Amino acid sequence: MKFKRLKIKIANVPIEIQIDRRFNNIYNLISQFNKYNKYTTLKIKISKSSTRSVNLSKNFKQINITGNNIDDLTNPFNIIGIMQAIFRFAGIHSIIKNIYLLHGSTSILNKQTLCFGDDGKNMAKTISSIECALISKKYVGDEFCFLNMNNKKIFSYSFIPIHLRPKVKKHFIKTHKLLLPRNKYKETKAGYFIEPVRLFKIIKSKKLSAFIFPHFNNKLIKIKQLDSKQKEKAITACVSAHLLKLIYPNLDRMKFIERTDLIKLRTQKIEKLKMKLIKELSLRNPIVQIAKSFPCYAVYIKEPCDITQIKY
């Protein structure tokens, strides 16, 4: 079996990628990352196999991604699955660079850069970020955002598509009369994908203003600034979520291997696993520093549009 080789940098992490020579679409996708020409011990191997799998080595230095038809990147399960594995792998190693992969979507509203994050209890990250971007016309990234604590800036990659689940797409079409352009991605039960550059101006890197943790409820619309203990708990979930799902795939909602997208998450023993991961990756002190550096708000809304009516 022959492989094409690329050396790239993701979040300042150098990685060698070995790609089955038959996987031209995956090669072209990964070619969009910044190139790197020096030695690295970190490797991602993407190969053809009758069985789908994502396997991380015990020392975290290599990840193997396999499958038969995974080069079809118009298939949402392929594009999101491969991107999850690659970004999460980079996220493990970006920690030593003081750069952290967040489970959140980021956009601009009223000149503020807001990361709509996962505090372990909410599922409104993407829809909230797009609501804001429809006003500002400025977007940073969906799902895979990195926070560089060296300069307090948040960044993503413009070629990573926005993932709209069916209910989210329906909301934007019905409520905002949003005309979503045709694209190369197939629309399936897993949702609809669109390149962010086709909707908004992409902001490559910007100083983060605040973390917002949105929640839907039937009560009054309100915003609550989190205290230090609440902030640390929310940031812990936001910083650990992607890495936790790489090491414990059964916790993931979108499953590359099974080609399923669950409505309910499996949360058995999740707190114990989270604490174990934070200790293993020495994340405790960074989490405390992130919590001290940025205001964090829990926002309670009735409708997605309400997110833009609150003053942060």
For the chain, the domains span 3-96, 98-308
User: Options 1.10.3470, 3.40.50, 3.30.530, 3.40.630; which CATH number does 98-308 get?
Assistant: 3.40.50
CB 78 within 8 A of CB 60: no
Task: Report helix, strand or coil for 180.
Answer: coil
DSSP code for 68? S
CB 158 within 8 A of CB 144: no
126 vs 286: CA distance, rounded Å: 25
Q: What does the pLDDT read at residue 18?
A: 97
Q: What does the pLDDT read at residue 301?
A: 94
166 vs 61: CA distance, rounded Å: 36
Concatenate the DSSP letters of all residues of 90-158 into one string.
HHHHHGGGTEEEEEEEEEEETTEEEEEE--SS---HHHHHHHHHHHH-EEEESSEEEEETTTTEEE--T
CB 155 within 8 A of CB 204: yes
Query: Mind listing the pLDDT tens digit for each residue in 167-182?
Result: 999 999 999 998 887 7
For the entire predicted model, the pTM comes to 0.93
DSSP code for 50? S
79 vs 259: CA distance, rounded Å: 11
| Gyration radius of the chain over CA positions | 19
Which residues of the chain have a pLDDT value below 70?
1, 253-268
Q: What does the pLDDT read at residue 120?
A: 85
Q: What does the pLDDT read at residue 83?
A: 93
96 vs 180: CA distance, rounded Å: 39
DSSP code for 305? G
Q: What does the pLDDT read at residue 270?
A: 81
